């Protein structure tokens, strides 16, 4: 894209925003001059209309358009379910789906377990705020930044050269040979998962720590008087008391993991059998010039996220009814 084209795009965007603002202003002006009952109705429509327009333009239309593209090939010919058949039959596509399943199983599980253990161990300890800030800090880093940091950790230099990667520096220090960590499948997939766990553990720790502090001390004291051990109090009192927070943490991290793109793209670009659905969706649509396949993967990703969202909504609704 040339500079002139970029300037033209900016002018179009600014012009579109100006027209939108002018239309909204005109509607509000007419509302103010309308009769009382009509004015009430028009006021409601005027305030709701921008949100509805943005919802239709930014969410509903792209969703419908993406779903329709999933049934066409790159030439615009209708191919039915061929793109979905490709996603579930080709070895590379199946590897992508398998990697996504591995991510969704391991990341929420490890992040929640580590975050919960950390929250329990530092609860009411000296320096609790400092330790929480230390673990939560990776959440302030973008996925791209985290990918670059950990790419240096896994960096590989040939034998005889200075190793700037932490892992290979340790290996060489103990007399071993440097390893191309990000090219060794399937180990590289698990090394990428470590990055996501490193980021999401802080989120799990903060939410679960707050939930633990909300467990009534009377219940814990009563259980202690009954002669229960610390582990029994944790399993029978603390965990049931923070069940809703556990559901929120697991489902939130699961959805974020299903959509993971930046880490994979930054560290391996999906090569060496590390691709996931979101990355492959981008690769097919914008690199391989196969928007139909990319759209099919987007629909599959939506279908994978949908049950998690529904389960989360049902749990929250049940808790509201109990209250």
- What is the CATH classification number for the domain harbouring 133? 1.10.3720.10
Mean pLDDT over 224-232 rounds to: 83
User: Do 181 and 288 reside in the same domain of the chain?
Assistant: yes
Q: Residues 171-189: what's their mean pLDDT? A: 88
Q: Is residue 240 part of a domain?
A: yes
Confidence of residue 322 (pLDDT cuts 50, 70, 90): low
Mapping DSSP to helix (H, G, I), strand (E, B) and coil, where does residue 310 land? Answer: helix
The verdict on residue 78 lying in a domain is no
Domain count for the chain: 2
294: domain range? 83-322
Instruction: Return d(Cα 132, Cα 162) in angstroms, integer.
Output: 35
Listed in order, strand segments (DSSP E) in the chain are none
pLDDT, tens digit, 9 for 90 and up, residues 58-100: 888 888 888 888 888 888 888 888 888 888 888 888 999 999 9
Same structural domain for residues 24 and 173? no
Judgement on whether residues 45 and 141 belong to the same structural domain of the protein:
no
pLDDT > 60? residue 158 = yes
Per-residue pLDDT, averaged over 2-21, amounts to 56
Task: Give the pLDDT of residue 284.
Answer: 86
- Residue 272 shares a structural domain with residue 215: yes
pLDDT at 26 over 70: no
What is the predicted pLDDT for the residue at 62?
Answer: 84
Number of H helices, E strands in the chain: 16, 0
Whether 54 is in a domain gets the answer: yes
Region 8-30 average pLDDT: 58
Condensed to tens digits (0 to 9), the pLDDT of residues 245-278 reads 898 899 899 989 988 898 999 999 888 889 999 8
Query: Any bridge partners for residue 72, and if so which?
Result: 78
Provide the CA 195 distance to its chain's centre, in angstroms.
Answer: 13
Here the tokens at position 137 are 């800090």
Report CA 159 to chain centroid distance, whole Å: 37
Beta bridge partners of 78: 72
Task: Output the pLDDT for position 6.
Answer: 54
Is residue 243 one of the residues assigned to a domain?
yes
Distance CA 92, CA 86 (A): 10
Q: Is residue 177 part of a domain?
A: yes
Pair (222, 281) in one structural domain: yes
In a domain, 313, yes or no: yes
User: Residue 78, class by beta-carbon neighbours within 10 Å (0-12 exposed, 13-18 middle, 19+ buried)?
Assistant: exposed
Cα distance between residue 215 and residue 164, in whole Å? 46
């Amino acid at each position: 894209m040339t500079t002139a084209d970029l300037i033209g795009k900016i002018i179009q965007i600014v012009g579109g925003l100006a027209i939108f603002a002018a239309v909204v202003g005109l509607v509000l002006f007419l509302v103010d001059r309308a009769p009382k009952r009509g004015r009430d109705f028009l006021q409601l429509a005027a305030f709701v209309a921008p949100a509805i327009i943005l919802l239709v333009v930014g969410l509903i239309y792209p969703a419908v358009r993406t779903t329709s593209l999933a049934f066409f090939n790159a030439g615009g010919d209708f191919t039915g379910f061929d793109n979905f058949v490709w996603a579930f039959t080709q070895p590379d596509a199946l590897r992508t789906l398998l990697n996504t399943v591995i991510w969704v199983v391991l990341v929420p599980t490890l992040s929640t377990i580590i975050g919960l253990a950390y929250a329990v161990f530092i609860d009411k300890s000296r320096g609790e705020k400092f330790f929480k800030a230390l673990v939560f800090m990776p959440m302030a880093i973008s996925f791209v930044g985290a990918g670059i940091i950990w790419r240096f950790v896994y960096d590989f230099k040939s034998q005889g050269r200075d190793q700037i990667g932490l892992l290979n520096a340790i290996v060489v220090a103990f007399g071993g040979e440097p390893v191309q960590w990000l090219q060794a499948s399937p180990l590289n997939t698990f090394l990428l998962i470590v990055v996501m766990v490193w980021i999401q553990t802080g989120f799990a720790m903060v939410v679960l720590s707050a939930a633990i502090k909300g467990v009534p001390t009377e219940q814990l004291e009563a259980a202690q008087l009954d002669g229960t051990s610390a582990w029994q109090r944790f399993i029978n009192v603390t965990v049931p008391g923070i069940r809703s927070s556990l559901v929120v943490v697991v489902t939130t991290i699961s959805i974020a993991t299903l959509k993971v793109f930046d880490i994979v793209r930054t560290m391996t670009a999906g090569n060496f059998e590390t691709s996931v659905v979101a990355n492959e969706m981008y690769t097919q649509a914008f690199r391989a010039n196969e928007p139909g396949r990319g759209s099919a993967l987007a629909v599959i990703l939506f279908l994978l996220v949908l049950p998690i969202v529904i389960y989360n909504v049902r749990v929250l609704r049940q808790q509201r009814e109990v209250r």
